[in-house]
Amino acid sequence: MPFRIVRNDITKMNTEAIVNTANDHVSVGTGCDSAVYKAAGYDELLKYREDNIGFVAEGGAFITPGFKLKAKYIIHAVSPLYMGGDQGEEEKLRSCYRKSLQIAKENGIKSISFPLISTGGFGYPKEEGMRIAVDEINAFLLSNEMDIFLVVFDTKATQLGEKIYPGLEAYIDHNYVKEVREEEYGDAYFSSMRPSEPGYDRYLSNAQMVERRTRRNAEAQKRELSDFSVKSVPPVSAVPKAEKQSFTGSIFKKKKTKDIVLDEALSINESCDEAPFFDFEEQHESKLQERMRHMSDTYSEYLMYLIQERNMENAEVWKRAIVDKKIFSKIKNNVNYHPNKRTALCLCVGAKLNLDESKDLLARAGYALSPCDKTDIIFSYFIENEIYDMIELDIQLEEHGLPCIIS
């Protein structure tokens, strides 16, 4: 797999290049920058930058030798300082990943390790920083081949990575990570923690919010049905004489006589007769015929049809779904192949299906979305609201105490 998240010390990564979070001017910062200079050879690396590089603006990147590191090269990404999010920080951070990957490509580098850029002493929110990293790396891999590692210190981020990427290895122990994290990142790290991480007392998990919203939606639907049942013309005899009412549209009006009640009831029928002409053939015939043509499709055939209909590339789907390429190839090449439910659900997200399409596709593999299953509820919520983000979805499952759906 070309992209993995690992828990390690980036200076010990055995890749052709590592990425360092650098300052814009010639100086050594804290966190990752300090660790890289210390491991590579402080004086040599600093002198090389001073003599050959000089000032580089935020969002830029440059390459140096690795000196004493295992890595042959160090690509230095000039990390943006987080100033609240409205100073162009996101575009600068995305630029760090793009330019670092472009430099690696231009230098023929086949493997590279990234830290979670800017999320330490530079103060960028860690969760958003991870999302940007994954977005940019996956976008690069759509058209390029390279082994890419995202190196994190955080236990929770590593656990998430282990579930997303099979075969993930954690090379160093928890105590080492804790010591290095406190030494190099200090308070800036803890200020960017998710509320559900150890050491942060106040939180309401997003998965609980999903469940709450689902319950509220169900209650709202019940109220709508209840309101609709009221919207029928009540028998005149059932209405108190002083408060007789008839119903027109959605507004109650006080009545004085039975004749007025009958007149308004008749007006409802007359308004129905005046409804605009509905041409089914013009509006829906072609769509219905298209659905009929795929009525007997297997899971594999229907998935390929949906992908083609969206003008999506197969690689785009399995990478967004974070499904192994070999499994996707089995689905594509064997029309009778049925993946497990976890894979099938991930591919619904990867192909950006709506809820009806997802239910239809799952049914062809013998599965259904259960309203009584928490995992299915969360998946349904994400699909229904077009949140096609496997990282965030996996976080919701984990925070709700569920096994992550991603294989």
DSSP secondary-structure letter at 238?
G
Q: What are residue 18's DSSP bridge partners?
A: 74, 113
Q: Please tell me the distance from the alpha carbon of residue 137 to that of residue 114, in angstroms, as a whole number.
A: 10
Quickly count helices (H) and strands (E) in the chain: 17, 8
Helix runs in 119-185, H state only: 126-141, 155-164, 174-184
Task: Tell me, rounded to whole angstroms, the distance of Cα 85 from its chain centroid.
Answer: 20
* C-alpha distance from residue 68 to each of 42, 65, 332 (Å): 10, 9, 46
Contact 407, 322 (CB under 8 A): no
Look at the block and give the residue holding tokens 């002083």.
242
Of these residues, 33, 154, 376, 394, which one is catalytic?
33
The residues facing 17 across adjacent strands are: 73, 112
User: Sign (positive/negative) of CA torsion 138, 39, 72, 6?
Assistant: negative
Question: Do 149 and 116 touch, CB atoms closer than 8 A?
Answer: no
> Is 60 in contact with 216 (CB distance < 8 Å)?
no
Our answer to whether residue 33 is catalytic in this structure is: yes
Instruction: Enumerate the β-bridge partners of residue 111.
Output: 147
Which residues participate in catalysis according to the annotation? Answer: 33
